[in-house]
Amino acid sequence: EEKLRNDLPVDDLCLSSRAGENGNHELCVIVVPQDAGALAVIQETLPSLIPSSFGQIHVITVQSIPRTPTSKVRRAELKAILQKA
């Protein structure tokens, strides 16, 4: 996550997974883009930063990533966001 956060035009980022249609887990990159043009750069750059063995990468944009006061991701809230996406 730290490498992606440093290499992509994002204000915040985290990785998670969700169950795909075939029951396998799919990688999700949840991002808070720096600006409107950042999403295209993120989608273009991600394949060079994440090995192809992870399969299809889903980029999900959000206004903010739910975090605790100590900056840990609130995974339960994040999973709810992923289910809606």
pLDDT in tens, 18-71: 877 777 788 999 999 999 899 999 999 999 999 988 888 999 999 999 999 999
Q: What is the pTM of this model?
A: 0.87
CA-angle at 26, arms to 72 and 30, nearest 5°: 40
Q: How far apart are CA 5 and CA 20, in angstroms?
A: 25
Radius of gyration of the chain (CA): 13
Q: What is the dihedral of CA 5, 31, 36, 41, to 10 degrees?
A: 50
Beta-carbon-side half-sphere exposure of residue 65 (alpha carbons within 13 Å): 20
